[in-house]
Amino acid sequence: MPAYPPEPWRIKMVEPLRATTRAERETALRAAGWNPCLLRSEDVYVDLFTDSGTNAMSDRQWSALLRGDEAYAGARSFYVFEQAVRTFYGYEHVIPVHQGRGGENILSRCLIRPGTHVPGNMYFPSTRAHQELNGAQFHDVIVDEAHDPDSDHPFKGDVDLAKLKAVIDEFGPASIPYVSLAATVNMAGGQPISVANLTETCELAHSHGIPVFLDTARAVENAWLVKHREPGWACRPVAEILRALCAPTDGAVMSAKKDSLANIGGWLALRDPDLAEQARGLVLLYEGLHTYGGMAGRDMEAIAAGIAESVDENHIRARVAQVEYLGERLREAGVPVVRPFGGHCICIDAAAALPHIPRDEYPAQTLACAAYLQAGIRGVERGAVTAGRDPSTGENRLPRLELLRLAIPRRVYTRAHIDLVADALIAVHRDRDRITCGLTFDWEPQHLRFFQARFAPARGPSIFGG
């Protein structure tokens, strides 16, 4: 058995879960159009759909809620929140937003004009969607290893500087409003970027006058992985590595629903005062006043407390160790998992796990359904369904990675839950030949189609045939 260090917390409040029968799960999945995203959460036993907003808040965060100042303008809670972001992330101008995509919308609107180009280390669906809505074309400049589920590269989130240089040379710095980096890279399976590569990327971009913005949703997890994988950082506190990741960048977009242990909220942070003024103007239109940005005062208090907890070494050690434990159990049993393990999730290579299901029958979506039917576990497809269609050609994008992502909420599940997940997925993998067909679209939404799409088994009434 792989190691499982004890959690640095004990449980003070519980939320009952309901176990379901296989027959109940079949009924629920059919009603959900073979899309686990459309299940009701009460029909799910272990919910690994996302680690976003699903975290357990601490007693300190819950008590911070009561300190929320709900004044419309200039609430005390805003200044507490602003100070926490400045202290831990090091950016001067802090603009609150209701969640990460609110910040993406504002940053994209401020900087992107039709016909421009945005390079980045792989894409995130909502980030790229906002860039494309504003008329930019996205260019993936991540290292090739990121697309290879079997590569053991320790920093699959790194930028391939030659690819970035080629984009700059081809389109010219004037048509590149910014470089869009993420730490960690969610779509590659929570893979980190090294401090060295991030710094070099910023130097290259800055030498052409191009700013760099960082998606910091999981930058604390990235910092922890830097501590363990990048030479020279082993003895540094995670809080210091976090600041080193942010230091060379021009600003950040944050979903506080991830690292910051909150259930809702986010921010956009900038160094350039003029850009910050422009962004505050748009916050008024799309989010709320620039001192609450769509959050309640109590949300800002919970986030401020959560940021401080997120960089606690004991917290982040246990958080990443739980993820690694699940990965190690699956790997030991021969389930094809993406390595190295990411900071927030374990990804199963569905194309390798179900080689008999053709790519156009969505093996990862099919595996997600099988995991739910097996034990009420909900993961999410991160493959062709999520990648969507190319806006210019209308063709399906076919990414190399066809993954079932199991994202682990922070401080929510115990080792017994994680063992149940491992046992169920090992059983699904052992019996994979019983899955006789994949899925086809019944209904395909235009934007972020994975959320609301409905499917049907490609042949017969079930993915198990007959």
Ligand X SMILES: *Cc1c(COP(=O)(O)O)cnc(C)c1O
Binding site for ligand X (CB under 6 A): 52, 99-101, 124, 126-127, 182, 186, 215, 217, 255, 257-258, 266
The minimum distance between CB 343 and ligand X, in angstroms, equals 11
Q: Please say whether the beta carbons of 298 and 68 come within 8 A.
A: yes
The minimum distance between CB 220 and ligand X, in angstroms, equals 13
The minimum distance between CB 189 and ligand X, in angstroms, equals 12
39 vs 303, beta carbon nearer ligand X: 303
237 vs 399, beta carbon nearer ligand X: 399
Taking phi over 0 as left and psi of -120 to 50 as alpha, with beta for the rest, 155 belongs to beta
The minimum distance between CB 101 and ligand X, in angstroms, equals 3
Contacts of residue 432, defined as CB under 8 A and 6 or more positions apart, other chains included, come to 353, 354, 356
The minimum distance between CB 217 and ligand X, in angstroms, equals 4
Q: Please say whether the beta carbons of 303 and 254 come within 8 A.
A: no
Inter-axis angle of helices 125-133 and 100-111, to 10 degrees? Answer: 30
Return the ∠ at Cα 306 (arms to 86 and 110), rounded to 5°.
45
* CA 433 – CA 22 distance, rounded (Å): 19
Question: What is residue 61's three-state secondary structure?
Answer: helix
Instruction: Please choose, from the candidates 319, 320, 225, 270, the residue with its C-alpha nearest in 3D space to the C-alpha of residue 85.
Output: 270
Residue with tokens 């060379």: 248
125 vs 336, beta carbon nearer ligand X: 125
124 vs 224, beta carbon nearer ligand X: 124
* CA 7 – CA 13 distance, rounded (Å): 16
157 vs 327, beta carbon nearer ligand X: 157
374 vs 386, beta carbon nearer ligand X: 386
182 vs 193, beta carbon nearer ligand X: 182
Separation of CA 248 from chain center: 22
The minimum distance between CB 174 and ligand X, in angstroms, equals 27
The minimum distance between CB 52 and ligand X, in angstroms, equals 5
The minimum distance between CB 290 and ligand X, in angstroms, equals 19
In the complex, which residue's CB is closest to ligand X? 100
Separation of CA 306 from chain center: 18
Residue 408 DSSP code = P
Specify the pairing of strand 212-215 against strand 179-182.
parallel
Instruction: Please choose, from the candidates 131, 123, 141, 257, the residue with its C-alpha nearest in 3D space to the C-alpha of residue 187.
Output: 123
With b meaning 16 or more CB within 10 Å and e meaning fewer, what string describes 315-350?
A: bbbbbbbbbbbbbbbbbeeebbbbbbbbbbbbbbbb
45 vs 224, beta carbon nearer ligand X: 224
* CA 434 – CA 143 distance, rounded (Å): 36
Question: What is residue 450's three-state secondary structure?
Answer: coil
104 vs 402, beta carbon nearer ligand X: 104
The minimum distance between CB 130 and ligand X, in angstroms, equals 10
Q: What are the angstrom distances between the C-alpha of 102 and each of 95, 124, 439?
A: 10, 14, 33
The minimum distance between CB 445 and ligand X, in angstroms, equals 17
The minimum distance between CB 124 and ligand X, in angstroms, equals 4
Q: What are the angstrom distances between the C-alpha of 59 and each of 64, 65, 301?
A: 8, 10, 13
Residue with tokens 């493959």: 383
164 vs 217, beta carbon nearer ligand X: 217
449 φ/ψ angles, rounded to the nearest 5 degrees = -65, -25
177 vs 438, beta carbon nearer ligand X: 177
52 vs 365, beta carbon nearer ligand X: 52
Please give the sequence-ordered ranges of beta strands (E in DSSP) within 141-290, or none if there are none: 179-182, 212-215, 251-255, 266-270
- The pair of structure tokens assigned to 308 is 């401080």
The minimum distance between CB 51 and ligand X, in angstroms, equals 8
- The pair of structure tokens assigned to 414 is 């115990």
